[in-house]
Amino acid sequence: MSMESFFTSSFSGKSFIEKSKARVFFYYSLFMYAALAMLILLYSTMPIPPHIARKGFIGAVLIILLVTLSLFALRKGRLTLAVWVYALPTILAVSALRLLNSPGAPETAFSTYIFYMPYLIVFVAVFGNRWQTVCTTAFFFLTNWATWFLVRGVPGEIGTGIHTGIVNSSLGLLTTGIVSVSLINIVDKYISQMRSEADESQRKLERIRAAMEIAHDGVHVGHTLVSESGAMQTAAELIEREIAGIRDEMLSLRSDAERTADANAGVVASTETLSRSTQGYHAITEQASSAVVEMTASIENISAVSSKSGTGIELLSKSVAAGIETAETSAHTIASLTESSEALQEVVAVIGAISSQTNLLAMNAAIEAAHAGESGKGFAVVAEEIRRLAEETATNSKTIEDGLRTFFGKINLAEESNRHIGEAFREIGNAISATRSAFDEISSGMKELAYGTGEINSSVSDVVASSRDMSDSIKKMNSMIADNAGAVGSLREKSASALSRLDSITASFRDILSRAENVRSLGKKSDEVIHDLDESIKAI
């Protein structure tokens, strides 16, 4: 540890002014040691009367003692005590010795001790305060005139020197005191100005700190925006996959409708054959006796055709059941899509709220930048850019919300179409059930005809009645088949319409995905801008 640190370490936690005064006082004390040592040396070597030299030696030793005591007070961290331990005894001793020695040695009244007074005034001004400097100057001014009063009657050149000395020394003391007080005033004003500037700098630092906090919030908002955009994109991709699944189901439904139409065509062919056979039955009734063999063959033919028709109806029934199941699956899928769409709408609402919050933060940042004046212009530009990005995000969120509303409408249309498809399939199932009943009746009639072939000749009227019933059944079956064909055609058209709408929905969701990617890109850009702003503020 250095000597300076040893004596001034107690001032490390105090103000700059007090630390500086303590340091200067320490080096002044060292200077006094050197000056007093030089005084003793010069008094010993120069031709000075012994009694005067002894007085000088005693004075120097006493001052060395005072300087030493003041250094101990400085070591304890008490600067004021250190100053006045040295200054007060010195001021009193100089004044007292001057007053005591002047009557006996009037030639020294304005020559020896007078030189200590101005430097003591400056000493008090440097290490004391304003009123202490004024008091010291007034005290020396009064003792100066008291000394003159004691020796004013000395004649000759010494008397002349005394009179001129009182005038010059008084003016010198007053001038030194005034200059010292003025210097104190200048220093105090400078310190006050520096404190004011320090307070202003502190306020600016507080505003910068607040701006940094806003920038940190902006970074968090940017991260949240990117995260929410990614979540929205993931949800949109999931919905797109669901739509692709629905499209596959609708393609399968259209394929089933095609197969149903083909089966229906087979049934139509069978009914035409059955109709021709019925016409043959009328001819057989007219030739009942001679056409028993032909009638038997026709009955066998009808039985075969009925068997084939029953098989076709069974296949058609299975196809219709599969169509109903597919329609129900489509209904469940559309319901799931609706739930996913509602979740997506909530995501869009969150994005809108985030953009509103970002806009509010940008407005606050602009206000703070306006308060900052010239130093906040750069930050105001950045805040305006943040606000513009927030407004663009809100606009994009509105566009996404409008697209979602359109998408919800299309989903509702798809749900309505799917409901109509299910109802159509149920109507087809009912028609097929009726057709199956008709074929059961035909099969029953064929059995009766088979059992009655031995009695055809005696039961021609019964055969005619049976043929009429069969003709009515065939007409009914033809009507059912026509209805079935219409239902299948309607199913085919609705499937095509549903596929077209699904393609439109897919295109809309691809547009949503593109916009979500744009939002994510804007979020990343906003994140980067706010991060750069944060780094710039940290650099400041």
What's the pLDDT score for residue 290? 66
Q: 227 lies in a domain?
A: yes
Q: Is the confidence at residue 199, as pLDDT, over 80?
A: yes
Report helix, strand or coil for 110. Answer: coil
CB 473 within 8 A of CB 214: no
Amino acid at the residue 335:
A
214, 70: one domain: no
**Is the residue at 493 inside a domain?**
yes
Q: Decide if 173 contacts 148 (C-beta within 8 A).
A: no
Same domain, 413 and 309: yes
Question: What pLDDT does residue 501 have?
Answer: 74
User: What local confidence, expressed as pLDDT, does residue 83 receive?
Assistant: 92
| Residue at 528 is within a domain | yes
Number of domains within the chain? 2
pLDDT at 510: 73
Q: Which residue has the tokens 């697209």?
A: 403
CA-to-CA separations, 11 to 4, 21, 29, 184, in angstroms, rounded: 11, 10, 17, 22
Q: 137 and 174 in contact (C-beta within 8 Å)?
A: yes
Q: Residue 71's pLDDT is what?
A: 93
| DSSP assignment of 298-356 | HHHHHHHHHHHHHHHHHHHHHHHHHHHHHHHHHHHHHHHHHHHHHHHHHHHHHHHHHHH
Residues 30 and 108 in one domain: yes
Does the pLDDT value for residue 65 go beyond 90?
yes
Domain boundary among the residues 154, 182, 215 is at: 154
Residue 14 neighbours by CB under 8 Å, 6+ apart: 77
Domain with 506, as residue range(s), is 206-333+402-539
What is the reported pLDDT for 519? 64
12 with 134, same domain: the answer is yes
Q: Is the pLDDT of residue 423 over 60?
A: yes
Which three-class secondary structure state does DSSP give residue 30? helix
**Does 41 fall in a domain?**
yes
Q: Which of 132, 154, 176 is the last residue of a domain?
A: 154
Give the pLDDT mean for 457-486. Answer: 65
Q: Last residue of a domain, which of 110, 127, 154? A: 154
Average pLDDT over residues 510-532: 72
CA separation for the pair 140, 161 (Å, rounded): 19
Q: Is residue 100 in a domain?
A: yes
Q: Which residue has the higher pLDDT, 275 or 183?
A: 183
- Whether 426 and 503 have beta carbons less than 8 Å apart is answered as no
User: Is 175 part of a structural domain of the chain?
Assistant: no
User: Is there a single domain that holds both residue 312 and residue 444?
Assistant: yes
Residues 441, 447, 452, 453: what is their CA dihedral angle, to the nearest 10 degrees? 120
Looking at the structure, tell me whether residues 219 and 307 fall in a common domain: yes
pLDDT tier for residue 453 given thresholds of 50, 70 and 90? low
Q: What is the pLDDT of residue 309?
A: 64
Q: Are residues 45 and 139 in the same domain?
A: yes
The 10s digit of each residue's pLDDT in 87-142 is 999 999 889 988 988 888 888 888 877 888 998 999 999 988 899 999 999 999 99
Q: Is it the case that residue 408 has pLDDT exceeding 80? A: no
> Domain holding 485: CATH number?
1.10.287
pLDDT over 60 (residue 206): yes
For residues 312 and 271, give the distance between their C-alpha atoms in angstroms, rounded to a whole number: 12
Q: Judge whether 170 lies within some domain.
A: no
From 23-37, 262-276, 509-523, the region with the lowest mean pLDDT? 262-276
Nearest to 166 by CA among 123, 121, 102: 102
pLDDT of residue 132: 92
Q: Is there a single domain that holds both residue 123 and residue 243?
A: no
Per-residue confidence (pLDDT) for residue 271, from 0 to 100: 61
With 0.85 as the threshold, say if the pTM is over it: no
Residues 148, 218, single domain; the answer is no
For the segment 351-395, what is each residue's pLDDT rounded down to a tens digit? 778 878 887 877 887 787 777 777 767 767 777 787 787 788 778
pLDDT by residue (tens digit) across 280-316? 655 665 665 565 566 667 667 766 766 776 676 677 6
Mean per-residue pLDDT of the chain: 77
Q: Are residues 236 and 124 in the same domain?
A: no
* Separation CA 538–CA 178 (nearest Å): 49
Percent of the chain with pLDDT over 70: 69
Give dist(CA 393, CA 398) in Å, integer: 9
Quick one: 516 and 416 in the same domain? Answer: yes
**Among 18-32, 261-275, 332-346, 388-402, the range of highest mean pLDDT:** 18-32
Q: What is the pLDDT of residue 420?
A: 79
Q: What is the pLDDT of residues 223-257, one digit of tens each?
A: 676 676 677 668 667 767 777 777 777 677 667 66
Task: Tell me whether residue 89 is in a domain.
Answer: yes
In a shared domain, residues 136 and 230: no
What pLDDT score does 313 carry? 67
